[in-house]
């Protein structure tokens, strides 16, 4: 009997590693993924799908509306009138350009404002994602418009100066100007721009802060502060970021994430955000956008003179160096931007996928990562077709992210088990 017992015990010891390995390799990724995806059902899923699918058409209608407005300004010779106002004020080219660009921006903003009200306020309110009153939203819009007006006026002054100085190769210098503007924006935005819209405070000491800083320090992210900003005054969305460059790098998460998520879920999100910094996505995206801007400006340097040669006399536009040509440039930019949308979406989606992998490796919270992906489904369709995701998604879909997390779990978690989470509430995302 003793020998039998000894043999049984020895078999159990020898079989234990093999059993553990079998449990890990036997983990069903698809079953685990489906368990998470099925937590979003009924009206909540229909609402999420309707919101996101409706957004497919917004870039197209927005671009078409801006083109119609630009054509109206040209046909009514309003851009030529703006230029004449500038010439009456001063003979200096940069002042003429500045006056033209400013007036163009004011009129364009006014005419596009109803569209902005619908897309940025009414539609968000309709789907329960807006926490702000119309007055509060309008006040923040005014701040954003003022910043945009100043920045765009300065940008167009610089672009038209390049056109006057280098009539044939201006697009090369123009690309450099765009790169400089993007760099400055990334540097100053975390310190000077975003605090105009939200209040940033230090995340209190505790396990959440300690874990975020531990992940940051172990991956050489030069940030010793973690900030919380009050996004809940505007929206129900959860978000976080690692923004800035060099001395302006800062780690931030919004209060929605802090209040609606567990410590493990916050770690999963922040691991992802740290991944963007560690993997150099900011620099890579800058280089890509500069290259795309160079291509767009090159196409404009060919298309705009051709359009002016055909219609310029009717529009009151002399040549491409004439600031009154600004609506012509804007029409061409709108078309190029719309056509480039699937390309830019793909670039961002690749970055997000890489950051997802990084976040899983750093936080090691696959189920928390899946849980956050489901929470994001309040404004992202959870399970699109592959072509739908390729064309319209600038982030991986929830299904893609959950499946990635479950595959990571199978590869890295011993004795991984399929989790069966509770169904998500039907009023998910608000009413």
- In this predicted structure, the answer to whether residue 1 has a pLDDT above a threshold of 60 is no
- In this predicted structure, the answer to whether residue 187 has a pLDDT above a threshold of 90 is no
Asked whether 382 and 395 are in contact (CB, 8 A), the reply is no
Q: Give the pLDDT band (50/70/90) at residue 9.
A: very low
- In this predicted structure, the answer to whether residue 21 has a pLDDT above a threshold of 80 is no
Asked whether 229 and 176 are in contact (CB, 8 A), the reply is no
Question: Tokens 């090159």 label which residue?
Answer: 298
CA separation for the pair 150, 129 (Å, rounded): 30
First-to-last alpha carbon distance for the chain, in angstroms, is 69
Residue 92 burial by Cβ neighbours in a 10 Å radius (0-12, 13-18, 19+): exposed
Per-residue model confidence as pLDDT tens digits over 58-110: 999 999 999 999 999 999 999 999 999 999 999 899 999 999 999 999 999 99
CA separation for the pair 100, 88 (Å, rounded): 12
Per-residue model confidence as pLDDT tens digits over 415-429: 999 999 989 886 655
Q: Give the DSSP H/E element, type plus range, for residue 202.
A: strand 200-202
pLDDT at position 16, please?
Answer: 33
* 3-class state of residue 321 by DSSP: coil
CA separation for the pair 148, 105 (Å, rounded): 9
Q: Give the DSSP H/E element, type plus range, for residue 96.
A: helix 93-116
Neighbours of 254 (CB within 10 A): 22
Phi, psi of 252 (to 5 degrees): -135, 145
70 is written with which tokens? 């630009």
Cβ neighbours of residue 292 under 8 Å, at least 6 residues apart? 340, 343, 344
Neighbours of 244 (CB within 10 A): 21
Measured CA angle at 394 (ends 199, 189), to 5 deg = 30
DSSP calls for 355-384: HHHHHHHHH--HHHHHHHHHHGGGSS-SS-
Residue 137 burial by Cβ neighbours in a 10 Å radius (0-12, 13-18, 19+): buried
Q: What is the average pLDDT value for the chain, to the nearest integer?
A: 91
Higher pLDDT, 387 or 23: 387
Asked whether 245 and 335 are in contact (CB, 8 A), the reply is no
Sort strands 226-229 and 200-202 into parallel, antiparallel or unpaired.
antiparallel
pLDDT at position 25, please?
Answer: 58
Would you state the CATH architecture of domain 200-276? 2-Layer Sandwich (3.30)
Neighbours of 284 (CB within 10 A): 15
Q: Which of 264, 244, 266 is nearest to 253 (CA)?
A: 266
pLDDT at position 249, please?
Answer: 86
Phi, psi of 130 (to 5 degrees): -100, 125
416 is written with which tokens? 């991984």
User: Where does 189-315 have alpha helices with state H?
Assistant: 207-218, 255-260, 263-278, 281-315
CA separation for the pair 277, 249 (Å, rounded): 9
**Residue percentage of the chain with pLDDT more than 70:** 93
Asked whether 267 and 211 are in contact (CB, 8 A), the reply is yes
pLDDT at position 3, please?
Answer: 35
Cβ neighbours of residue 40 under 8 Å, at least 6 residues apart? 48, 374, 377, 382, 423, 424, 428
Ordered strands of the 240-243 beta sheet: 200-202, 226-229, 250-254, 240-243
Asked whether 99 and 85 are in contact (CB, 8 A), the reply is yes
Q: Determine the average pLDDT of the residues in 213-240.
A: 94
> Looking at the DSSP assignment, which residues form a beta bridge with residue 201?
228
Q: Taking the domains of the chain in order of start, what are their residue ranges?
A: 42-198+278-412, 200-276
Per-residue model confidence as pLDDT tens digits over 306-365: 999 999 999 999 999 999 999 999 999 999 999 999 999 999 999 999 999 999 999 999
pTM: 0.88
- In this predicted structure, the answer to whether residue 268 has a pLDDT above a threshold of 90 is yes
DSSP, res 427: T
1 is written with which tokens? 């009997």
User: Where does 133-280 have alpha helices with state H?
Assistant: 134-165, 170-188, 207-218, 255-260, 263-278
76 is written with which tokens? 């009514």
Q: Which of 391, 150, 366, 177 is nearest to 265 (CA)?
A: 366
Q: Give the pLDDT band (50/70/90) at residue 23.
A: very low
- In this predicted structure, the answer to whether residue 13 has a pLDDT above a threshold of 90 is no
pLDDT at position 12, please?
Answer: 33
Strongest mean pLDDT among 7-21, 58-72, 283-297: 58-72
């Amino acid at each position: 009997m003793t020998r039998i017992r000894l043999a049984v015990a020895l078999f159990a010891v020898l079989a234990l590693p093999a059993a553990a390995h079998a449990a890990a390799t036997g983990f069903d990724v698809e079953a685990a993924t489906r368990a998470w995806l099925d937590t979003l059902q009924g009206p909540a899923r229909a609402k999420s799908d309707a919101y996101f699918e409706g957004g497919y058409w917004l870039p197209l209608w927005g671009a078409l509306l801006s083109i119609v407005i630009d054509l109206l300004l040209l046909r009514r010779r309003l851009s030529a009138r703006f230029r004449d106002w500038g010439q009456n004020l001063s003979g200096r080219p940069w002042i003429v350009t500045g006056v033209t660009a400013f007036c163009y921006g004011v009129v364009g903003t006014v005419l596009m404002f109803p569209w902005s009200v619908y897309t940025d306020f009414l539609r968000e309110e309709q789907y329960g994602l807006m926490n702000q009153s119309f007055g509060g939203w309008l006040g923040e819009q005014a701040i954003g418009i003022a910043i945009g007006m100043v920045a765009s006026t300065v940008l167009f002054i610089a672009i038209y100066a390049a056109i006057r100085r280098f009539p044939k190769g201006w697009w090369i210098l123009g690309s450099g100007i765009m790169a400089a503007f993007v760099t400055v924006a990334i540097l100053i935005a975390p310190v000077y721009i975003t605090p105009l819209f939200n209040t940033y405070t230090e995340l209190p000491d505790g396990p959440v802060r300690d874990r975020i800083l531990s992940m940051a320090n172990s991956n050489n992210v030069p940030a010793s502060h973690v900030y919380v900003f009050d996004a809940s005054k505007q929206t129900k969305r959860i978000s976080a970021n690692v923004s800035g460059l060099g001395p302006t790098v800062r780690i931030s998460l919004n209060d929605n994430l802090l209040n609606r998520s567990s410590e493990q879920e916050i770690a999963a999100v922040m691991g992802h955000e740290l991944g963007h910094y560690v993997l150099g996505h900011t620099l890579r995206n800058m280089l890509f956008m500069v290259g795309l801007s160079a291509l767009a400006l090159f196409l404009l340097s060919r298309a705009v003179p051709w359009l002016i040669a055909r219609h310029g006399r009717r529009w009151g536009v002399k040549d491409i160096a004439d600031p009154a040509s600004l609506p012509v440039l804007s029409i061409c930019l709108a078309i190029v931007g719309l056509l480039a949308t699937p390309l830019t979406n793909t670039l961002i989606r690749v970055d997000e996928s890489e950051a997802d992998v990084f976040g899983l490796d750093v936080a090691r919270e696959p189920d928390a990562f899946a849980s956050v992906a489901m929470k994001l489904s309040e404004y992202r369709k959870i399970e699109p077709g592959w072509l739908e995701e390729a064309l319209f998604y600038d982030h991986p879909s929830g299904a893609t992210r959950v499946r990635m997390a479950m595959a990571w779990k199978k590869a890295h978690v011993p004795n991984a088990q399929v989790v069966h989470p509770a169904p998500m509430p039907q009023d998910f995302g608000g009413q």
